[in-house]
Structure 1
Amino acid sequence: MWQWPTLESIWADIRYAMRQLSRSPAFAATAIFVLAIGIGANTGIFTLMHALLLKSLPIPDPDSLVRISVNGDSPDPGANGMPLNLFLMQSLQRQAKSFSGIFGWSSSDVVLTENGVSRIYPGAIVSGNTFQVLGLAPAEGRFLMPADDQTGGGTDGWAIVLSHRFWVQHYHEDSSVIGKQITLSGQSVTVVGIAPSGFDGVLVGTNPDFYMPLAFEPLVHGKESLLHSTGSLWLTAWGRLKPGISQANALAEMSHLFEAVMRETAPSMRSRLVQNHARFVVVLGRTG
């Protein structure tokens, strides 16, 4: 004869627990609420830490991707990890030898107008060489190219790339959207490509739906445009290390180049950064 004393004991314990909880519903509700909050908080923290520290960007050779920023000699945490601007980044593109490519990235919301209805979506303003440096392949169409990153755009006019998620949710994976004209921030733009599935940008949590060239930035921000500002730091710079070049090698070169880059850019910016004993830093960008 088969007997299941363990299961019978567990079932008895469950019935006893239910009777006890039913006698104290307030205590039961409080206990369940506290457990739910604790489990939810731990899940949220782990998800964030996994995205920030553990999960690599879905790009080829993520270990060779680095972020280039400015650190100031100041107790203010805001003086560390500061972004660059267009002029600083272009100077590094001309002078730095440690990188196979350097690109700029800035998050920016954008307004999509369809059938007379306007909605705000997350976007990213990026250098024309961004996707080439990242080493990605488009899911459909093509990516932005340096020729697109100029006033008025390239041969397709203003070109933009859609995120794979937005393409699936908004256009239901319709390939005919490639070449279609849409209205973005009041401007007619051409959809030239779709980003690969799983790629949500290099800034964790921003999840852009539209990728636009840097030259498009004044049309997005109008009078608040920072593209040609020499006194603002707003553009996150990324670089791909050349084979055989380590983070330490790149950091040493950046330290050597700081004064030369400062001389080549606006005097007002040089004065402010030199006074703060600023320097370029190179940090690993594998996780974004």
Structure 2
Amino acid sequence: MNEIEIKRPASPPRRPIARGSSFYLAMRILPPERRRAMYEVYAFCRAVDDIADDGGPRAARIAMLDRWRGDLARLYAGQGTTPLTEGLADPVAKFGLKQEDFLAVIAGMEMDVKRNIQAPDWEALDLYCDRVASAVGRLSVRIFGIDDEKGRLLSHHLGRALQMTNILRDLDQDGAMGRLYLPKEVLANAGIADRDVGKVLANPRLAEACGALAVRARRHFAEASAVMKRCDRKSVRSPRIMASVYRALLEKLVKRGWTAPRVDVRPSKLQFLWAVLLYGIV
């Protein structure tokens, strides 16, 4: 009888950063040490996001997220790194990245894993945005060198603005996975009572619901801009680029409209180049 070999699951591979991606272009202007730290945070975010989005049994994906929690606990307890956390050790030590923010990102991904989010209320959506976007901002602002008070406020507003823009951009992509992030309040105000995702996305009154979320996103962009005006200019070069490009993306989505079939809209490379020229050179 042959001996059965039991192998520990391999560490999830790190997905390389696309050189033409919005993140790559916005972070490329950072000094090398800060840039490397941001790329490690990005790699973490992509890894846990892939767990949430790539399918498979829910229990297995929750176990993978729990593995991340355990490995982060080891790192912060000074018990060494694992293949998952070895790239994070240096940024955590140099920039004082907080364990609670990494855990918040994981908790946000877990919200997607446990069940398909469909028409949450505003409070639940705000919590989701805080975890999957603003928590990433709280990690990032420490690397950028923004002081804690302004950094947390910027993370709050810019994270929500970016995530709401992504929600509006990815309506059909999320719908194909059975997800609908538009709050139930805006659907009700638009007179959309159906909760079937496909029917909601085909509803002729969808524009009213999406418009309400766009208004909220614009407010967060405006608040983020006000915070960045009070920060050292060098420290907010990257977030200014992201805000500029995604605010333009939001307006392109609004201009395109919400009637199905919806043409895919993505950030413009020319917009990025302009933003880099405008904010990336100090």
When you count helix as a share of all residues, which structure comes out higher? 2
Q: Which has the larger radius of gyration?
A: 1
User: Using CA pairs below 8 Å that are at least 6 residues apart, which structure has the higher relative contact order?
Assistant: 1
TM-score relative to the length of structure 2:
0.27
When you count strand as a share of all residues, which structure comes out higher? 1
TM-score relative to the length of structure 1:
0.27
